[in-house]
Structure 1
Amino acid sequence: MKYHCFTPKALASQITLATAGLLSVGSWAQAPAQPMVEEVVVVGLAASQERNLDAKRFANSVTDTVTAEEIGKLPDVTIADTLQRVPGVQIRRSAGEGSTINVRGMPQVTALLNGEQFLSAGSITTVQPDFTDVPSSLISGLEVHKSPTASLLAGGVSGTINMQTVRPFDLDEGLTLSGNAEMSRGSESKEDDGKLSAFAGFNHGDFGVVVTATFDQSNLANYRNGTILNGMEVIGEDERDQRDFNNDGDNNDSFLTQRFHGVMDKTTERERMGLSTSVQANLSDSLEFIGDVFYTEMDDYDRQQGMMIDTVRGNNWAYSDDFDARLEGPLGGSIYTTNRATLMVPRVSSYSESLTNGRESTNVNLQLNYDNGGRLRGSARYLHGDAERTHTENVAHGFITSGEQHGLLRNDGGGVEPVNPRGYGPDLVEVGFDRTGKYVDLAFEPGFGDDITRYNLVSTYSENNFTEEASLDVLRLDGSYDFDANHITSVDFGVRYGQRDVDRETYILVAPFTTGSLSADVMWKDSGASLGDTNGDGENSVAGGDLTLGSTQYYTDLPDGWVNERTNFGPSKLGGTFYFVNPEMLDDNVAFQNAIYPGNKALVDPATSYSVEEATQTAYVQVNFEGDIGSFPYSGNIGAQYIQTDLDIMQNLVGGGSPCSLCTVSNKIGEETIERSYDDFLPAANLAIELTDDVILRAAYAKTMTSLDIDDLAGGLSVGRSRAGSVLGAELGVNPDLMVAINGVQNGNPGLEPWRSDNFDLSAEWYFASNSMISLAAFYMDIESFIESGTVMMGLPDEDGVVRRELPVSTNINGSGGSIKGLEFAYQQAFDFLPGFWGGFGTSLNFTYAPSDSANVDVYGSSLPIQDNSERSGNAVLWYEQYGWQVRLAANYRSDRLDRLADPLGQGVIPIWTDATTYMDLSVSYDVTDEVSVYVQGSNITEEFEDQYAQWEDYVITQNIYESRWALGVRARF
């Protein structure tokens, strides 16, 4: 029976059919026949929930599904925003938008497109895409596989995401059209942004084509308060820093602090474009052709400007009566922190930065499906992908202080003076610092900063720029054979060959600095920079007469449009007027650098450049079964996947010298190609037992594997050398003057093993109505190892190129493993049994409890969890659908999560935590006619933000503050 709330050709109803057909695409071969169920083709929130529950109920593994109707009507900009509603899924944000995800606490998640690997330009080196550059309008449905089958392409330790697109034969015959237009605005950005998307599909029975196109532009505002640059220091552990922090009459105290504090206004400008097209044709009664093209493009500009204070080093760190003793210090006293202080600051900066990203990817799928109605079915599939990403970083660092406070001087031949002669000085600047309130804040003296003549662009540089290119080729054959035997229904089998090539070139920009007989290319173009002894008297300081090569660049002398005047920094109490180099001028890093210091050229950094070829050969077999155990029907599958991975890694050998002055690049002295292979045998089993008509018990086991980020595998090897001397020279049989290897540093470790885990699942699902369910699941992941810093022994070449011994090399290693165990609870219900108005309500609730452990410990020696895993997470959705109205209010909660590990301290390391967050989203739509709807969507409507604290919850060091965003739009379906 079919029910239509809109016209028969409404896109939303067609997507209902598409979802059911596409659910089998996530497996390699055609899935076994499922039980016949009544087909209900309706649209709306209740229908969407019912389809999702049907898909979950009849899935052949532990799977959650989100249909296109959900994606279209949640206030979600990205696919990650939508996935956070799924139990056990946690997301990370970029400029407030969902970017990447965790499944059950692990980010080692792979994402597939129509059941196969694809290239995402936002994350070329990993198997999980950056979802910010995949427009959600191109996707018709999502599957979250928490327990794999043998036929599912391996790649996720904790889960696999399968993104699905619409195919022509999923539509009714004839023409289907749909469109969407939207205007949006942020609470802080105040920019009018827009989005347009269009869908056209034509199904002629034996031939069809669909095209989806989308374009959107957004300007996102967010702020960063607190620590601007990472890095923590303990003051008081050496003689020059010792003082009485707690006023008890001795100098045995220590003080934990951060060097850089600030208030930054950050904006992100994004332009996204996507195109998806599919052609489908019946070539004969038994042969079907499918061709897909999936194209994405995104340009991204992350800009920031703000005031930054640098406490440098010395005795002027903090004056406060508000010190907190945290733990025992190495001198016998305590290590203290402070949350409120007056800082005596030697340097105050006007800081501007622009990070740009250009991303483009194309994925093509060509597929032949064979099915003559007999027992044997099969398919042949070829995929090709190309992706490219360009990234630039450009910084303009202006001073408002003179530089004399910390000895930064210049001499252009007219005598020694501070680098910013017009700046505030020579006294230190008093700055109030306070993290006891809602926001971390700075406070300057009234009027400080409002005189533009005091600002000087003292330093500018462009580093960490890179270009990445990748290609992907896949050829695979899949088959399925049906049986009439008891219990065994079919066998799926297949083979696959895939090759991914990745090239990365990282570079800095350097400009020529020349004085007298000295000349060098310089990256850090500082007005206090010197190439050395330029006056010939043997002295190496400015006071001794060395000429500095950088020039003064006062803000008043910069071209029109280059300087911004700002008085507003969002929620910060920072008052007054301040000036900054306009970060939009920094978008073109070459043009900006040449405008200040001409002659810039790109200098490749061999330590972070590489080329990698990855080839995989895969075979799988899966037995599907169903039957009865007594009076209990059961179904499931058991099988295994075998993968052989071959790697060719081109690694640069890096020398000790540098081709430039005042820069971070070393010389390339050679290269080597490292070849390695490893094998994985991955068994998987899934079992579902129907305890009653409405209650299903599931159990699953699988061994999983995820390939490493190529950045962890590849990179330069730097060899440290020293003169052999008589003793070592005699031992090695070499000339005492030969420079011999003594140690090494390797940015990527080609010997790393991939992520591997043994996963166990047990769950019970009660479908007490067609659109209602309660489920409880328990899971356990035994993770083999984590990637951490360590030392390996390697044969390193001496200066003459001969390898004579194995020596310690600092690099990433496979450290001790860990585990995640947890519970997932989910409840969904439509209250359509209630009378009148109340019958339009429904709800969806889920909660995940997933404690984890690792080998790392904090400053007290307590065990730390796996990074980025929230022990508790959950969602609450209340919706209403009746009389043409559809309303949804959604809340997403994550408890504290370990963001990263900072410096060693006490019995372990300082953990940096992200505090708990709750994000609220709202959507309201009204059906004007059967074909036209208008809607309002709000994301982060409570303006939630993220605090990061170091070890102690009240010791907040950084805040990422996001805006709320609202959109007004119209949808049409014909």
Structure 2
Amino acid sequence: MPMPRRNGPRPRFTLLASAMGLALLPSLAMAQTAAPAQPGEEKAADTATLATVEVRSQLESQLRALDLQRDADAIIGVVSSDSLGVYPDKNVAESLQRLPGISITRDQGEGRFVVVRGLDASLNSVSVNGMPIGTPEDSSRQATLDVIPSDSTERLTVVKAPTPDMSGDAIGGSIEIESASAFDRDGRSLRGRVEASYPQLSGDVNSKLAFNYSDVSGNGEFGVAFGVNRSERDFESDNVEVEYDFNDNLGDDLLIPVELQYRKYFVNRERTGLNLNLDWRPEGGGRYYLRTLYSDFTDAETRQRSIYVFDDGELTGASGETREFTDIPPDALRRRLRFRTKDQSTLAISAGGENRFDAARIDYQVGYTDTRERVPDEVESRFEYDGVGDLSAIVDMSSPVPTFALTDPGGDGAWLDNDNYVLDRLVLAPKFVDDEETQAKFNVEFGSGTVTWKAGVSGRWRSRSADVDEAELRITPDLSLGAWTTGSPEHRFGDLGDGISTREMLDYLRANAGAFGERPQDVAENLILSLAEDYRADEDILAAYAMGTFDFDALRVIAGARFERTDFDAVGNVVELDDNGDLVLPVTERAVSASYSNLLPGLHLRYDGSNDWVFRGAWTNTIARPSFGDLSPRQTINREDSEIDAGNPELDPYESSNLDFSAEHYLGSTGVFSVGVFHKDIDGYIAEVTTNADPDFPGFEVTRPVNGDEATVFGVELNWQQSLDQLPGAWSGLLFGVGATWLDTEFSLPQRPGETFTLPRASENIYSAYLGYEWAGLSARLSLAKRSDYLDEIGDSPDYDIYVAQNTQLDLSLGYDVSRNWSVYFEASNLLDEPLELYQGNASRTLQREEYGRSYALGLRVNL
């Protein structure tokens, strides 16, 4: 028979009341003892003894996830709250990478965006407690999941094939984030942790605190769950970036390093998470709730750069992988110091309820989300070398990261001394992004026996604005960089020269703000730069669906369709260039709008076979809407590097037809082996194309999103999780899991006729694995997440395509239960010291390499 739908609180796993878990309890050796009998109380029967069995935390989390996965009608993956504490994960993105078919992209070594089945993060829908959330990114739909701490969540679910009652904007998947309800636990629960961590590069000691409390009172009618967490990290990263091009000065086109940069980052990151959930379940029936989640993420970053522009000189010699440049002017050597504080926050509030009648059930929810970004203080000081005479350089390209030897007329390495650099300009770039959404939805379900009908309506009203006010101050008092000198920072790739003090820069700016002026041409240019990236947009989505669920013995069939109507309006600014490539006034405002409707039919089959087999199949239709920044008339202008990122109001939405099949075999009470096969046909796949021949912006390298032709995705997923609890003695504490996803993706672009590409951000191979052990209070887990390289940006030709290299993340967690309620733990992250690496054209041309080092943490947990 098909598994019944489960309503109400999940059972507490000290009495694991699921079909999978009951068989496990007698074999657990953790603490199989009954509670002491109270005065006047008879000793309980053997079944009562089971109620006090303590389940090992790793195994408990695995069973929770498998129980939810087995019961689901859709094809899903689940990470439970206990797993969130097992891994050394800082945020929701890093927790989700543990699931098969999931990879992540990182920022400063921390997981940020989630890639489901190799598809770009902008093709996912993300909800918190049933409410869709936006993103603080100024131009993307990618939800920044580094904003939400793992400690703020109870479970994470990725739905890979949504049913018609779920949102249709889920070509990649639907990511559901849930914070804890008091009814997720039995009675009163208190959990907390205190942690100190140590990142290798900075050598600082960082802190983390987390506290969660829940209780059910009033004869089991009222529940409250509250959580707060706070973390702070000071860390560093070392970066080298190289720009390549071809040069014909010596007759044939030769690949040369046009520019090389050494970058050093000093980062302070603070995360704060709060969640408060209230539940009321009166005896007379009905369920009512209030869900709130707030997170705040502050990133204070200092970036010091040393820049060498070899192409400002002359290519005068080449031999093998060596390139010789002469007549390099002094101002081709530059120093930069940038500081900014970025504050991103997410607020999600929802309220709703459920009522049951004789043959029907209704549920309803209203909610509000607010995501925002504030960067009020970004400033970059730009200095140029003031040496006497031209320089020469010999660049060795025999390794992926080029090295160079620089010679100046004095021969004393004066370019490493801050005293020889003078201030060229200051660049101010404050940014403010707001993304608000209100949602309401209503569902009704009725029927009995083997047929159930469900229908619903929903509305989403979203508004978004981005305000970027860049300005350049060029007429400056005479200033030598030597006044801001600090000790030379350590750097893995080369000598940055003298260090530059952020405090001195900020103090100088405050003290001398009135001394800066503007050249006449800067007045117009700054006005244009302050307006070019700004836009306002509104998006309204009205949806309705109907579906039926039909049970035929062991077969369940879900069939239905969803209809979504989208209305989009945006206002931005149009920037124009004259024949010389200079920005011209006036800046004109442009309004754009689009409306479209999508009918999304779906069919799901689920068959509960004999011997613990579950088979699923799904045919679904999904969409993804272009990002706000891509659709809006806006431009991001980098005058120094002659680069422009432009919007494209002519974009059409993605439309995808999907087939999914999976077979799951549940192995005993604690394991599963599953295989899944999926195929997607995506019309209008949007990719960013970079060209040097854009007619609207001559002389600039322009990146613009465009609709490509049909894209196809074919993939296979394997997953095997198993506890070896049937082994004798201490060997029964072993458990393991392995997952693999293989992808074959393809699409084409009119701009590159005759060529095919893999989908951007689609790694062909994604692997995950863990090996765990729990026995006599000891808990250990070694976990691995690996992905192959992927295409990141498409250029004018294969020589200019940019890829992100493969990455392997290896983490270790160790814990020991000091007592029933207290435990200590040790965590080590990035044990392989893996960098972020990008390359241009092929892997021998490293475009960017950024290293973060390992990090370690020591902490104390309490569970009462």
SS at match of 2:189: strand
**1:783 partnered with 2:701:** no
Indicate which of 360, 367, 375 corresponds to 1:383: 367
**1:191 partnered with 2:180:** no
Indicate which of 155, 161, 180 corresponds to 1:147: 161
Q: Take 1:810 and 1:51, find their aligned partners in 2: how far apart are those partners?
A: 45
CA separation of 1:909/1:782 partners in 2, compared to 1, >3 Å: closer, same or farther? farther
Q: Take 1:435 and 1:275, find their aligned partners in 2: how far apart are those partners?
A: 52
**Corresponding position of 2:737:** 844
Q: What is the deviation of 1:43?
A: 4.4
SS at match of 2:801: strand
Q: Take 2:621 and 2:170, find their aligned partners in 1: how far apart are those partners?
A: 10
CA separation of 1:440/1:880 partners in 2, compared to 1, >3 Å: closer, same or farther? farther
Q: Take 1:853 and 1:235, find their aligned partners in 2: how far apart are those partners?
A: 32
Q: What is the deviation of 1:857?
A: 10
**1:609 partnered with 2:593:** no
Deviations 1:520-552 (A, max 9, x none): xxx252xxxxxxxxxxxxxxxxxxxxxxx4443
Indicate which of 334, 339, 344 corresponds to 1:349: 334
Deviations 1:171-190 (A, max 9, x none): 323x3222111111101011
Q: Take 2:271 and 2:448, find their aligned partners in 1: how far apart are those partners?
A: 48
Residue pair 1:614, 1:648 contacting (<8 A) in 2 also: yes
State the Cα RMSD in Å. Answer: 3.5
Indicate which of 913, 930, 941 corresponds to 2:831: 941
Summarize the alignment of residues 824-903 of structure 1 with structure 2, pairs less than 5 Å apart.
Answer: 824-856=717-749, 863-902=756-795
Q: What is the deviation of 1:593?
A: 7.8
**Corresponding position of 1:769:** 668
CA separation of 1:280/1:926 partners in 2, compared to 1, >3 Å: closer, same or farther? same
**Corresponding position of 1:413:** none
Q: Residue 694 of structure 1 aligns to which amino acid in structure 2?
A: D
**1:475 partnered with 2:474:** no
CA separation of 1:840/1:302 partners in 2, compared to 1, >3 Å: closer, same or farther? same
SS at match of 2:238: strand
Indicate which of 504, 525, 531 corresponds to 2:466: 504
SS at match of 2:146: helix
Residue pair 2:393, 2:404 contacting (<8 A) in 1 also: no
Deviations 1:886-942 (A, max 9, x none): 10101111112112123x24xx56221222221111100111111111101111012
Q: Take 1:834 and 1:589, find their aligned partners in 2: how far apart are those partners?
A: 69
**Corresponding position of 1:806:** none
Unaligned runs of 5+ in 2: 1-10, 21-49, 637-643, 691-701
Q: Take 2:288 and 2:505, find their aligned partners in 1: how far apart are those partners?
A: 49
**Corresponding position of 1:305:** 304
CA separation of 1:593/1:232 partners in 2, compared to 1, >3 Å: closer, same or farther? farther
Q: Take 2:138 and 2:367, find their aligned partners in 1: how far apart are those partners?
A: 16
Residue pair 2:347, 2:369 contacting (<8 A) in 1 also: yes
Q: Take 2:573 and 2:14, find their aligned partners in 1: how far apart are those partners?
A: 53
Q: Take 2:645 and 2:137, find their aligned partners in 1: how far apart are those partners?
A: 22
**1:233 partnered with 2:254:** no
**Corresponding position of 1:436:** 399
Q: What is the deviation of 1:431?
A: 5.3
Q: Take 2:764 and 2:345, find their aligned partners in 1: how far apart are those partners?
A: 36
Residue pair 1:858, 1:951 contacting (<8 A) in 2 also: no
Residue pair 2:632, 2:647 contacting (<8 A) in 1 also: yes
Indicate which of 455, 471, 481 corresponds to 1:555: 481
Query: Identity over aligned residues, as a percent?
Result: 22
Q: Residue 826 of structure 1 aligns to which amino acid in structure 2?
A: N
Q: What is the deviation of 1:87?
A: 1.1
SS at match of 2:470: strand
Q: Residue 895 of structure 1 aligns to which amino acid in structure 2?
A: S
**1:456 partnered with 2:421:** yes
Q: Take 1:767 and 1:17, find their aligned partners in 2: how far apart are those partners?
A: 17
Indicate which of 76, 92, 107 corresponds to 1:94: 107
Residue pair 1:761, 1:778 contacting (<8 A) in 2 also: yes
**Corresponding position of 1:181:** 194
**1:220 partnered with 2:204:** no
**1:132 partnered with 2:146:** yes
Indicate which of 314, 319, 324 corresponds to 1:321: 319
Q: Residue 618 of structure 1 aligns to which amino acid in structure 2?
A: A
CA separation of 1:955/1:655 partners in 2, compared to 1, >3 Å: closer, same or farther? closer
**Corresponding position of 1:171:** 185
Residue pair 1:705, 1:756 contacting (<8 A) in 2 also: yes
Q: Take 1:271 and 1:746, find their aligned partners in 2: how far apart are those partners?
A: 30
Q: Residue 465 of structure 2 aligns to which amino acid in structure 1?
A: D
Q: Take 2:15 and 2:78, find their aligned partners in 1: how far apart are those partners?
A: 14
Deviations 1:63-119 (A, max 9, x none): 111101111111111211111111111110010000001111112111111222124
Paired positions, count: 792
Q: Take 1:818 and 1:587, find their aligned partners in 2: how far apart are those partners?
A: 49
Deviations 1:865-897 (A, max 9, x none): 111111011012111111111101011111121
Deviations 1:735-791 (A, max 9, x none): xxxxxxxxxx99433332222211111121111221111111111111112224689
**Corresponding position of 2:93:** 80
Q: Residue 600 of structure 2 aligns to which amino acid in structure 1?
A: L
Q: What is the deviation of 1:280?
A: 1.2
Indicate which of 192, 200, 205 corresponds to 2:213: 200
Q: What is the deviation of 1:580?
A: 3.8
**Corresponding position of 1:748:** 647
Residue pair 1:707, 1:754 contacting (<8 A) in 2 also: yes
SS at match of 1:137: helix
Q: What is the deviation of 1:296?
A: 1.3
Residue pair 1:868, 1:897 contacting (<8 A) in 2 also: yes
Q: Take 1:946 and 1:435, find their aligned partners in 2: how far apart are those partners?
A: 20
CA separation of 1:963/1:662 partners in 2, compared to 1, >3 Å: closer, same or farther? farther
**Corresponding position of 1:703:** 621
Unaligned runs of 5+ in 1: 1-10, 21-37, 237-241, 244-250, 324-337, 401-419, 510-522, 526-548, 719-744, 792-808
**1:161 partnered with 2:54:** no
Q: Take 2:619 and 2:508, find their aligned partners in 1: how far apart are those partners?
A: 51
SS at match of 2:65: helix
**Corresponding position of 1:32:** none
CA separation of 1:351/1:453 partners in 2, compared to 1, >3 Å: closer, same or farther? closer
Q: Take 1:686 and 1:845, find their aligned partners in 2: how far apart are those partners?
A: 27
Q: Take 1:592 and 1:471, find their aligned partners in 2: how far apart are those partners?
A: 38
Deviations 1:97-155 (A, max 9, x none): 000011111121111112221244x3366544211111111011011111110111222
**Corresponding position of 1:597:** 516
Q: What is the deviation of 1:264?
A: 1.6
Q: Residue 714 of structure 1 aligns to which amino acid in structure 2?
A: S
Residue pair 1:14, 1:171 contacting (<8 A) in 2 also: no
Deviations 1:16-60 (A, max 9, x none): 999x9xxxxxxxxxxxxxxxxx99983411222122122211210
Deviations 1:373-411 (A, max 9, x none): x321112211012232123643222233xxxxxxxxxxx
Q: Take 2:380 and 2:226, find their aligned partners in 1: how far apart are those partners?
A: 42
**Corresponding position of 1:643:** 564
Q: Take 1:295 and 1:788, find their aligned partners in 2: how far apart are those partners?
A: 33
Q: Residue 187 of structure 1 aligns to which amino acid in structure 2?
A: Q
Q: What is the deviation of 1:963?
A: 1.6
**Corresponding position of 2:37:** none
Q: What is the deviation of 1:319?
A: 4.0
SS at match of 1:312: helix
SS at match of 2:67: helix
Q: What is the deviation of 1:219?
A: 1.8
The normalised TM-score by structure 2 is 0.85
**1:370 partnered with 2:322:** no
SS at match of 2:731: helix
Q: Residue 64 of structure 2 aligns to which amino acid in structure 1?
A: R
Summarize the alignment of residues 532-571 of structure 1 with structure 2, pairs less than 5 Å apart.
Answer: 549-556=475-482, 558=483, 562-569=484-491, 571=492
Residue pair 2:575, 2:587 contacting (<8 A) in 1 also: yes
Residue pair 1:858, 1:910 contacting (<8 A) in 2 also: no
Q: What is the deviation of 1:287?
A: 3.1
Q: What is the deviation of 1:597?
A: 2.3
